[in-house]
Structure 1
Amino acid sequence: MSIPVMLGAGLVSVKDLADVPNLNSFLPVLAAGFVVAAIVGYLSIHWLLSFIKRQKFWVFVVYCVVFASLVLLVGAIRSGNVSASAAEPTVAAVSTAAQPTLIQGTTAPATTASSEIQAINVEYTGSLNWLEPAISTCADALEDVHLITHLVPTDQLDAASSDVLLRWGAPTQLDLYSAQLGSDRLAFVVSPQNPLNSLDLATARKVLNGSISSWPSLYKACPDCFAKDYDEAAYKDKSIALNFYSPNEDIQVMLDLVIMAGQPVDSAEATLIPNTAAMLESVAGSTTAIGFVPTRALEPGVKEISLSDVDPLNLTQPILAIAKTEPSGATRNWLVCLQTVLNSK
C-alpha cells in the first residue's frame, strides 16, 4: 500500500535533486544508497511475511497495551503538575524593535523558579553548529529544563513550531521578536599547508565566481598574496576547490551580499557543504580547497586568510535569537546565559 506513496514522493523529489550543484559527483553515492535500500527493504519485508506465517501477534499486542498505558499515565501525571501561575525570574525587558538589541539582564544563568520540567524547542542554522557546546552547557545550568534542539536549513526555520530560532545575520524581513546574543565575523580559510596568506576583495571575487580557477592563475594575479616559499611545481595544474553552502543558508547569503555584491558564485564546479563543521573538515582535508566560516568556528585544522582591503566590521553580523513573542522564564534565562558566553569571548 505504501508503494504508490513512495513513488509519488520520489517523483516530487526529482526536481529538488536536479537543483543540487555538481550533481554528477553525487550520483554514484545516491545509486549505491538506492540499491542498498532496495535490497534491505526487500529482505526485511520477506522476513516479516515469513515471521507472520509462523508466529502469532499476541506478544506484540501485549507490548502495545502496556506501552500505551504507560504513556497515558505519564502524560496524565505531567499535565496534573502544570501550573499556569509559576513564578518567573526577574530580568530586564528586551527591545522588540526592528534592530535587535542585547538582552540586558543578569550576567549569570538563573535557575527556573519551579520544579516542573520545561521543554524548550530550539532551531538553529548550520552556521552556528560551533555554538552547540554553549547551547548544551547553558541548558545544563538551568534546573528542570529539557532542551530540544534541531539543526535545520535557514529557509526552514519556523517560529511557529519552536520557542527560539538562532541564526547568523538578520533575514531580509524580520517582523518577529528578536534579540542580539553576540556577533561574529566571516573568515576565509584554507589548509595550513596552503601558501595563500591573503586576498584583496577584487581577487577574492574572481576566485569565487570562477574567473580565477587554478592556483597558478591566482599566483600570477596576486603573487604578494602568497608566502615567499610558494612552490609553483607543487601547485602546477591544480584547480582551486571551491566550497559553498546552499544558496539559502544565512552564511551563503552573507557572502553573496557582503563579498560578491550580488555577483553570482561559481557553484557549478563547487562542493555543496551543509554546515560549518563539514566546511572545516573539507578544507582541512585538501591543500587546494578554499572555504569560509564564522571566526568563532575556526579550528587548528584550517588557516584563516585575510581580506587586505576589507574592513572587518563589514564582515561582522549579529547572532540573533528570534521568537514569536518575548521569551520569559527558563527560556529567557537560557538566552541570557548564551549571551554571557558569547560576549565573554
Structure 2
Amino acid sequence: MTLLQTIILGIVQGLTEFIPVSSSAHLVITPFVFGWQIPDQEAFIFDVIVQLGTLLAVIVYFWRDIVKIIRSVSIGVVRRQPFFDASARLGWLIILATFPAGVIGLLLKDQVEAAFTSVPATSIFLLITALLLLLAERKGRRNRSLEQLSWKDALWIGFFQAAAIFPGISRSGATISGGLFRDVERPAAARFSFLMSLPIMLLAGVSASADLITSGQVARQAPTLAAGFLTSALVGYLSIHWLLSYLNKRSLRWFAVYCLLMGSFMLALAGIQSRKSSPASFLPAEATPQPVRVALSPSLSHYAERISGCSEAYPDLAVFIDVIPLSQVHMSQFDLVVSFGMPPLEIPFLYPVGEETLRILVNAELPVDDITQEALNGIFSGSVQSWSEVQPAIEPAQAIRVLQYPAESDLSSAFIESLQLDGEYPDRALIVPTPQAMLEGLSQTPGSIGYLPGSVDIGNHAVKYLKITGDFEQKLRRSVLVGSNREPEGSLKNLIGCLQQS
C-alpha cells in the first residue's frame, strides 16, 4: 500500500467508524471505486492498524467515563454490591451488551469473511442500515436517559451490535437504532453505543494484533501503517465529538438517506461492471480464477514444483505458494498448508499426499558409512563430540559438527521426537533454515552431520548418506500432509487429489 492510500483509508475509517454509515462498507467500497488492488495480507494488516487507531480515539475521548466505570465496577465487586452506583451499573450493562456480538461473531465467522470480499453484499447491508435508521427514528419516542437503561435494553442493543459484524451494517448506526427502538434519547443512545464498542474493539484488536505480530510483516510497512493509524485516530476523535453534538438537535434521517443512495449506487455500479466483464454473447463468461494461498513448510520447499505442476491442470485456480515457517502461519490467511508430519496448528481437515523418510548425511570426506541409533542419540544430544567415539579407527580424533534446523521446524520436531531427545541442541550446533542450506553446510563443514527429507536431490554436493543399523529408519518416516480450514470442494479438492497421485 502507498502512503496516499493509507491516509485516504485512514480518513475513511476515522469518519465512518462512528458516523452511522458503516466503516467496513467504505473500506470495501473505496478500493473498489479507485481500482486499487491491495493484497489480502496487506489489507489484513492495515485493517488491524486503523481499527486500533479508532479504538484509541474512543479511549482518549471517553477516558474520564472509562476510569470512572472501571473504578466503580471494581469497588462494587470488592463490596459485593455490583450496582452500588450509576457508573458501576453502566459498566455491567456494557459487559452484558458485548456478549451477543462475541458469540454470534464466532458462529458466523466464515460467512462474515466471505461478505467482506463482496461489493454487492456490502451494498445490500448498507440498504439494511438505511432501513434501520429510518425505522428507529419513526418508532422511537426518545424519552429515556442513559441512567434508565435496564438489562433488557442492554441485551437488545447488544444484538443490534452483533448484526453489525457484516460489512455494510453500521455498528454505531445499528446500536444507536437499537437504543432508539427502546425509546432512549439520541445523545444517550450514541454515548452508550460508543462506550459499548470498547470491549468488542479491544478484544478484536488484541486477537488481531497477536496475529499481526507473529506474521512478521509489520516492520516493512511501518511508515505507511503509522500514517494510517494516526489519521484514523485523529479523524475518529473529531467524528465522535461532531456526532454527539449533531444528535443533540438533529435526527438520523440524513444518514439513512446517504446509506440508501450509496448502497443503491454501489449495487448498480457492481452490476454494470459485472455486465461489462461478460462477453456480449450467450456464451458463459470466463470465470476469474479463484486465488489459492498455499503455505509451504521450508522443509518441503522442493514440493513447490510439484504443487505448481498440479495447479496447471486447473485453470480456474490461481495458486500462490509462500514458503514460510509454519510457526508464522495463520489459517485465516491461507487456503492450504503443506507440512512434514502433523503441523503445529489446529487444522480440521488434513490429507496425506505422500511420505518422507529423514535421511542422515555427513560430509563426504568423513570415513564413516553406517551408524547406530545409540550413536545418533549421543551426537544430537551433545554427549558424543568426536568421531573417534563413534568409530575408534578414525584418527586423529575429529570433532563432530552438528547441523540442525530451527527448533520450531517440523523437520526438527520430527527428528527430536524420533530420537526421544529433550529438545536441547548441542552447544556448538549450527542452525540452518532449509534442506538446501543443510546440503551447503554439510558440503563445506568437515566432520559435519545432519539430515533432510529423502526426496531432496543432493546433486553434486560433497555429502553422503549414512546407513542406520537396525530398524530406526522406520521411526524417521512421516506423512506429508495438506491441511485446510474448510472441507475442499471442486477444483481445490481435485488439486489435493493430484498431489496424492503425483
CA distance in 2, matches of 1:156, 1:249: 11
Amino acid at match of 1:246: P
> What is the alpha-carbon distance in structure 2 between the residues aligned to residue 327 and residue 77 of structure 1?
29
> Are 2:297 and 1:137 equivalent residues in the alignment?
no
2 CA distance for matches of 1:322 and 1:126? 16
2:347–2:484: 8 Å Cα contact kept in structure 1?
Answer: no
Structure (1 or 2) with the greater helix fraction = 2
Match of 2:429 in 1: 270
Contact 2:355 2:480 in 1 (8 A): yes
Question: Matched residues in 2 for 1:79 and 1:279: separation?
Answer: 53
d(CA) in 2 for partners of 1:292, 1:132: 20
Q: 2:494 aligns with which of 312, 323, 333?
A: 333
Residues 243 and 271 in structure 1, CA contact (< 8 A), matched pair in contact too: yes
Q: Give the partner amino acid of 1:266.
A: Y
For residues 157 and 78 of structure 1, the distance between their equivalents in structure 2, rounded to whole angstroms, comes to 34
Indicate the percent of aligned positions where both proteins have the same amino acid: 21
Which among 373, 398, 408 is matched to residue 238 of structure 1?
398
- Tell me, in whole angstroms, the C-alpha distance in 2 between the residues paired with 1:267 and 1:336: 41
Distance 1:334 1:206 in 2: 43
CA apart distance, 1:178: 0.7
Shift in Å at residue 262 of structure 1?
Answer: 3.1
1:162 alignment partner in structure 2: 334
Alignment of 1:317 onto 2:478? yes
- Give the whole-Å Cα distance in 1 for the aligned partners of 2:448 and 2:380: 12
Higher relative contact order (CA 8 A, sep 6+): 1
CA distance in 2, matches of 1:77, 1:185: 52
On the 8 A contact 2:304/2:321 being kept in 1, the answer is no
Could you tell me which runs of 5 or more consecutive residues in structure 1 were left unpaired when the two chains were aligned.
Answer: 1-72, 83-112, 224-229
Q: Which of the two has greater strand per residue?
A: 1
Which secondary structure does the structure 2 equivalent of 1:322 belong to?
Answer: strand
Q: How many Å apart are 1:263 and its aligned residue?
A: 3.0
Report the TM-score, using the length of structure 1 for normalisation: 0.59
Q: CA deviation at 1:174?
A: 4.5
1:257 aligned residue (417, 434, 443): 417
> Which of 444, 455, 461 lines up with 1:285 in the alignment?
444
After superposition, the C-alpha distances for 1:170-204 in whole angstroms (9 at most, x for unaligned) are 14674511111111111111133322211111111
- Aligned partner of residue 379 in structure 2, secondary structure: helix
Structure 1 pair 338–205 and aligned structure 2 pair: CA distance change class (3 A): same
Q: TM-score, length-normalised on structure 2?
A: 0.42
Of structures 1 and 2, the larger Rg is shown by: 2
Query: Which aligned runs of 4 or more in structure 1 are off by greater than 4 angstroms?
Result: 76-82, 172-175
Structure 2, unaligned runs of 5 or more: 1-268, 279-284
Question: Secondary structure of 1:219's match?
Answer: coil
- Paired amino acid for 1:295: G
Give the distance between the partners of 1:120 and 1:173, measured in 2 at CA: 19
Correspondence for 1:127 among 295, 299, 302: 299
Partners of 1:197 and 1:328 in 2: CA distance: 48
CA-CA distance at 1:288 after TM superposition = 1.6
- Cα gap change, 1:268 to 1:81, in 2 (>3 Å): farther
Q: How many residues align?
A: 225
Give me the whole-angstrom Cα distance separating, in 1, the residues matched to 2:295 and 2:287: 25
1:298-338, Cα deviation, whole Å (9 max, x unpaired): 41323211221234322211100111111122222221221
Could you tell me which residue of structure 2 aligns to residue 207 of structure 1? 379
- For residue 296 of structure 1, give the secondary structure of its aligned residue in structure 2: coil
Question: C-alpha separation between the residues in 2 aligned to 1:174 and 1:243?
Answer: 29
Verify the 8 A CA contact 2:327 2:344 in the aligned structure 1.
Answer: no
CA distance in 2, matches of 1:144, 1:175: 25
SS of alignment partner, residue 167 of structure 1: strand
